Amino acid sequence: MKQYEANFDGLVGPSHNYAGLSFGNVASLNNANAVSNPKQAAKQGLAKMKALADMGMLQGVLAPQERPDVNALRRLGFTGSDSQVLESAAKQAPEVFLNCCSASSMWTANAATVSPSADTCNGKIHFTPANLTNKFHRSLEPEVTGRILAATFNNSDFFEHHLHLPENDHFGDEGAANHTRLCAGYGEPGLELFTYGRYAFNSSKPAPTKFPARQTIEASQAIARLHGLNEQNTVFMQQNPAVIDQGVFHNDVIAVGNRNVLFYHEQAFLDTQSVLSEIEQKFAAINSNEQLHFIEVPTAKVSINDAVKTYLFNTQIINMPSGEMAIIAPTECQENPAVSAYLAELVTLGTPIKKVHFFDVKQSMQNGGGPACLRLRVALNEREVAAVNPNTWINQGQIDRLNAWVDQHYRDRLSIADLSDPAFLVESRTALDELTQILNLGSVYPFQRV
C-alpha cells in the first residue's frame, strides 16, 4: 500500500491582524498595531498550498475560526445584540477585545498533535487538539479546532479524535509545533519526539526565566498516553531554556524532522548528547536498516538571533514524489546572508536534503508564523487518504474556488479599529458559512449552531 505525508495548511481567516498578543514571540511583539492585509495573507497561504500540490504532494486545507469570537465576549460579561457586544468590548476592554479577534488558528502546527496509525495501539490515526493555554487568544481555539478536525478526518474506522487536555498551564500543550516524527517510510513504525519547555510539577528543573515555556512535559506525556504510544517509540526531550528566552517559543522555531533526518540548531536542546544517543538507539531498534542523519547547525554559522529572524528551522522538509528531500523556506532565509549561505552549503553536504524552495509568507511571518507553522502533518496510507473528507484536499478546482472565495470576501486592509465594525462580523460570518459548503464541513462554527 502507498504511504504519504500530507500537509494540512491553515486557511488564513478574514480577521488576520497584528495585535502584539504573543509575549515571547519576537515578531508578534515587533509588529503590534501594523495594518494587515488579510486578502494577501490568505493568498500567500493558498499559493504555498498550490505549489506543494503542483509538486505532487498531498495537500489539504483546514478551515479558519470565527472571529471576532462573540461567544467568548459574552462569557466575559458583554451583553446585548452582537453589535452591542462588539462595541462595548472594544470600548471598555480593548485588549480583551483584540484577543477575541485573532486569526491565530491559521498556524495549524498548533492545531493538534497527530500520531499515525503505524505508531498507535489500535492502528488508527490519533488527533488531540492543542489546548494552547499559554496565550488567552489561542486558548479560544481548541473546541472549534476539534470540530474542524472531526469534520475533516470524518471516518471513525480510521481516525480517533481526543478531547484537548485540561485547560490549565500545568498541561499547556501547543500541538505539533513541539512534536516531530522520525521513520524509515511514512507508513513504517516511527519514533515520536516530544519536546517540552518545562516541568509543571517540579520547580527544581531548569526552565526559562524571561519568556514562557508553553509546553510542559506532563502535557507531552499525556498526549503519548492518549495516542497509545509506548516507551520504545517515544522520546521526551527538553528545549534549551536559554533559547526560549531568546524568542524560540516553540521547538519548531529551532528544529524540524522528516523521515530519517533531524535538522536542528546546536543550542536547541538540553543534554543534547544524551538525547541524541537515545534517539539513535530507539530509531535503530525500530528501523534497523535505515541510516539516521543528524544535521546540526552550529552557532558559528547561524546565530540564534538569525534563526529566530529568518525561521531557518521553521521550514518544511518534504519528500518529493521523486524521493528527493526538499526544504520549503520563507524568503526571509534568502534575504539573510548567513542563512542563505548556510542553505546553499546544506544542499551540497551529502545529506538527503537536495533542494530549497523559497516562499513569500510575510503576512504570517510578521506574526511569528513561518511555512512550518502554517501546516499540520498527517502521515496516511492509501485507505486513510480515501477516508478523508474529499473537499478538504487541495486540487486545481478547490484552489480556484478558494481563491475566488477570498477575492469575494476578504479585505485588503484591516486596522484594529475595523474589527469592531458590526459589518465586518457579518462579512466574516457570510464568508465562513460559504466556506463550510465549499469544504463540506457541516456546522462547525458557533454562529451556525444557535
- Active centre residues (catalytic): 174, 250, 373
**Binding of ligand SUG at residue 22 (CB under 6 A)?**
yes
CB 97 within 8 A of CB 419: yes
State the Cα–Cα distance between residues 319 and 52, nearest whole angstrom.
11
Q: Which is nearer to ligand SUG, 253 or 380 (CB)?
A: 253
Q: Which is nearer to ligand SUG, 19 or 328 (CB)?
A: 19
Q: Which is nearer to ligand SUG, 29 or 347 (CB)?
A: 29
Q: Which has the closest alpha carbon to 231: 291, 191, 280?
A: 191
Q: Which is nearer to ligand SUG, 118 or 372 (CB)?
A: 372
Residue 363 Cβ vs ligand SUG, minimum distance, rounded to whole Å: 11
**Binding of ligand SUG at residue 253 (CB under 6 A)?**
yes
User: Could you say which of 4, 20, 30, 87 contacts ligand SUG (CB under 6 A)?
Assistant: 20
Cell of 274: 544524551
Indicate left, alpha or beta for 56 from its phi (over 0: left) and psi (-120 to 50: alpha). left
Residue 365 Cβ vs ligand SUG, minimum distance, rounded to whole Å: 10
Residue 274 Cβ vs ligand SUG, minimum distance, rounded to whole Å: 26
**Binding of ligand SUG at residue 244 (CB under 6 A)?**
no
Cell of 285: 531498534
User: Could you say which of 177, 183, 279, 327 contacts ligand SUG (CB under 6 A)?
Assistant: 177
**Binding of ligand SUG at residue 65 (CB under 6 A)?**
no
Burial track 186-225 (b if 16+ CB lie within 10 A, e otherwise)? bbbbbbbbbbbbbbbeeeeebbbeebbbbbbbbbbbbbbe
Q: Which of 14-22, 351-359, 382-390, 399-407 is the region at the interface with ligand SUG (rule: CB under 6 A)?
A: 14-22
**Binding of ligand SUG at residue 151 (CB under 6 A)?**
no
**Binding of ligand SUG at residue 379 (CB under 6 A)?**
no
**Binding of ligand SUG at residue 286 (CB under 6 A)?**
no
Three-class HEC string of the chain: CCEEEEEEEECCCCCCCCCCCCCCCHHHHHCCCCCECHHHHHHHHHHHHHHHHHCCCCEEEECCCCCCCHHHHHHCCCCCCHHHHHHHHHHHCHHHHHHCCCCHHHCHHHCEEEECCCCCCCCCEEEEECCCCCCHHHHCCHHHHHHHHHHHCCCCCCEEECCCCCCCHHHCCCHHHHEEEECCCCCCCCEEEEEECECCCCCCCCCCCCCCCCCEHHHHHHHHHHCCCCHHHEEEEEECHHHHCCCCCCHHHCEEEECCEEEEECCCECCHHHHHHHHHHHHHHHCCCCCCEEEEECCCCCCHHHHHHHCCCCCEEEECCCCCEEEEEEHHHHHCHHHHHHHHHHCCCCCCEEEEEEECCHHHHCCCCCCCCCEEEEEEEHHHHHHCCHHHECCHHHHHHHHHHHHHHCCCCECHHHHHCHHHHHHHHHHHHHHHHHCCCCCCCHHHCC
The 112-115 sheet, strands edge to edge: 112-115, 125-129, 159-161
User: Could you say which of 8, 18, 194, 211 contacts ligand SUG (CB under 6 A)?
Assistant: 18
Q: Which is nearer to ligand SUG, 171 or 211 (CB)?
A: 211
Q: Which is nearer to ligand SUG, 126 or 138 (CB)?
A: 138
**Binding of ligand SUG at residue 28 (CB under 6 A)?**
yes
Size of the site for ligand SUG (CB under 6 A): 22
Contact string 95-114 vs ligand SUG (x = CB under 6 A):
-------x-x--x-xx----
Q: Which is nearer to ligand SUG, 107 or 263 (CB)?
A: 107
Q: Which is nearer to ligand SUG, 177 or 184 (CB)?
A: 177
Residue 25 Cβ vs ligand SUG, minimum distance, rounded to whole Å: 4
User: Could you say which of 11, 19, 100, 365 contacts ligand SUG (CB under 6 A)?
Assistant: 19
State the Cα–Cα distance between residues 275 and 194, nearest whole angstrom.
11
Contact string 116-135 vs ligand SUG (x = CB under 6 A):
-------------------x
**Binding of ligand SUG at residue 256 (CB under 6 A)?**
no
Residue 147 Cβ vs ligand SUG, minimum distance, rounded to whole Å: 20
**Binding of ligand SUG at residue 428 (CB under 6 A)?**
no
Residue 260 Cβ vs ligand SUG, minimum distance, rounded to whole Å: 23
Residue 23 Cβ vs ligand SUG, minimum distance, rounded to whole Å: 9
Residue 281 Cβ vs ligand SUG, minimum distance, rounded to whole Å: 28
**Binding of ligand SUG at residue 250 (CB under 6 A)?**
yes
Q: Which of 20-28, 142-150, 277-285, 383-391 is the region at the interface with ligand SUG (rule: CB under 6 A)?
A: 20-28
Contacts with ligand SUG, residue ranges (CB under 6 A): 18-22, 25, 28, 102, 104, 107, 109-110, 135, 138, 177, 250, 252-253, 367-369, 373
